[in-house]
Structure formats: structure tokens, C-alpha cells
Amino acid sequence: MPNRSSSPISFLKQQYKEHKGTLYYWDDDKQKGKTLYDDTLVADFERIIGNEDDTILRIKVYRTPLMDWQEKYGILFHAFVLIETEDAYYTLEVSEKCITLQRSTTKEKIRDRYPKGSLRRTLGVRKPERIASANGRRTMTDVVEYIYKEDVLNRNYKVFSTEPHNCQTFAAEIFKNFSD
């Protein structure tokens, strides 16, 4: 494992590699999390939500700084998706360890915080910046099935390449596939 003095990108790639193939689900209302694995992803998600498959009403992409010292965004920013359903809000993002899916009945709790409550970085404001918004379509189970069918959990984390896979490309992909 690289130490913290190595480049932030190499540290991020190594952390992601160690947890590749997993999705961390955090229910903020219950203060409970569970790691879901690729081979049982859809069944485990359906077991967690029970018979309450949420229909997607709105979908938004937000951004926050990658580093504490950042003063401007430029091309360096963390992107994540916020999904509004009839009964709850979800955030979906590639974190330093895995794909993370949070759920809460309070939008601000998961828009402004990571699982277990640590604040997201922001640039001189108190909340992440919204960069896209649209009406949504389909359901949260459809999102999880898409992640499984497209083998998203097993992609290599690539920041700079001709075919990147990082938080920005992931957020854009989810937005494109689940918005009107």
C-alpha cells in the first residue's frame, strides 16, 4: 500500500484496487452500512430495500474539490450523483475505496456528507456545487442492475487515459442513463 506521501492519484488508485468489485451501501437514517459484492449485488440490494423499489424523479450531478488546498475547480474535482425518489434521496459515487451508494430521507445529510457523517470538501461555500440536473427515469434497482450488467465494479480506476474511469466519468454515465 502506498503511503500518504505518494501522489494523491496513485494512493487513490491503490485504495480503489484493493476494494474493486464492491459497492458500499450506507443507510444514513439507520446509521448502518453493508458491503455488497459484485456476484450478489442485485440480490443483496433487493434484500436491503425489500418491496420498496424507488422510482427516480430527479437526478443531479454535484462537484466538490479533490484536495483541501484547491481554490478553483478547473478539471480537478470530485463528481457524484444525487438521485431523488418518491421516498428518499441517494448519492452514488466512486470513492477512494469503491462505489458508494448512500440513502437518506434528508437530502442535505448525504449531499453534504460522506457515509458516517464526515463533511465533503467545498470551495468557500457550505455545500457541493450542482453542475447538472434533469428529470429521472427508471428505478433504483435499475441503477444497481446497470452497475452489475456493465461490470462497473470491476473497472480499473483510470484518471488520465483515452478511456478514463473515475468519479467524473462515472457520474456522467449514470446521469446519461437515468435522466430524461
At 6 the pLDDT is 56
Question: Is 24's pLDDT higher than 90?
Answer: yes
Spell out the residues 6+ positions from residue 157 whose beta carbon is closer than 8 angstroms to its own. Answer: 12, 13, 16, 17, 94, 165, 166
The domain limits of the chain are: 22-178
* Residue 19: per-residue pLDDT: 64
pLDDT score of 26 more than 80: yes
More confident residue, 76 or 92: 92
pLDDT at 164: 64
CA distance 78 to 64: 5
Q: Tens digit of pLDDT for each residue in 31-64? A: 999 999 999 999 999 999 887 778 999 999 999 8
